[in-house]
Amino acid sequence: QVQLIESGGGSVQAGGSLRLSCAASGQTFSSYVMGWFRQAPGNEREFVAAIRWSTASTYYADSVKGRFTISRDSAKNTVDLQMNSLKPEDTAVYYCAARRSILIVTNSGGFDSWGQGTQVTVSS
């Protein structure tokens, strides 16, 4: 059974940076896609970024392209999200997710396992 544990959230001023990390366990992830989603109060959960574990191919939401970078460390079984040039609209709970497929999708329903979430707050 897949377990995902996020860490690294916090509060930062606009223009600052944060790095989120997701520790993954319970499976061999070579045939998985890992993703980050976020959900702000009153909003639906939205796609942020995804990475195919086997090839490290990545895909980003337009809203974060050029500011966020997703990466994975196969030795540590972690998936990180480096967030730079943060904006107040990036404020949300960020979730790590795993999809048992090599195809990258952006809908939350396409992911099988979820972490508990970590809060990111960006002040202006």
What tens digit of pLDDT does each residue of 2-60 get? 999 999 999 999 999 999 999 999 999 999 999 999 999 999 999 999 999 999 999 99
* Confidence at 83, pLDDT banded by 50, 70, 90: very high
What pLDDT, on a 0 to 100 scale, did the predictor assign at position 32? 97
Angle, alpha carbons 96-98-100 (nearest 5°): 175
pLDDT in tens, 90-110: 999 999 999 999 999 999 999
